[in-house]
Structure 1
Amino acid sequence: MKAVVFQRYGPPDVLELKEVDKPVPKDHEVRIKIYATTASAGDCRVRSFTPPPMFRLPMRFVMGFRKPRKQILGIELAGEIESVGKAVKRFRAGDHVFAVTGFVFSAYAEYVCLPETAGIALKPANMSWEEAAGVPVGGLAALHFLRKGKIQSGQKVLVYGASGSMGTYAVQLAKHFGAEVTGVCSGKNVEMVKALGADKAIDYTKEDFTKSGDTYDIIFDTVGKSPFSECQRSLKKKGYYLMAVMMLPHIVRGTWASMTGSMKVISGVSSERAEDLLFLKELIEAGRLKAVIDRSYPLEQTAEAHRYVDAGHKIGNVVITVNHK
Structure 2
Amino acid sequence: MNVRGGRFWLFCASERSEVSKLKGFNKKVLVFAGVAVIAGAAVCALAFAQGDVSAGTGFKKLKPAGAYGATVIDRNTKEHKSVKPVIFPHWPHRVTYSCKACHTDLGFAFSANSADIKHSALEAGKYCGKCHNNKTSFGLSECDRCHLHGVKAGVTSKKIEDALAGLPPDDFGNKVNWVSALRDGKIKAVATPDGTGELSPLDLDVEMAVTKFSPHPPDVLFPHKAHTEQLDCTACHTGAVDPSGVFIPQKGANTGMNMMKIISGQYCGTCHGKVSFPLEDCFRCHSMPPPKPPEPPKKEEPKKEDGKTDKDGIKKDEADKDKAGSPAKDAVKQDGAVKDAPKPSAPPEQKK
Scaled by the length of structure 1, the TM-score of the pair is 0.27
Which protein has the larger Cα radius of gyration, Structure 1 or Structure 2? 2
TM-score, normalisation: structure 2: 0.25
Structure number having the greater helix percentage: 1
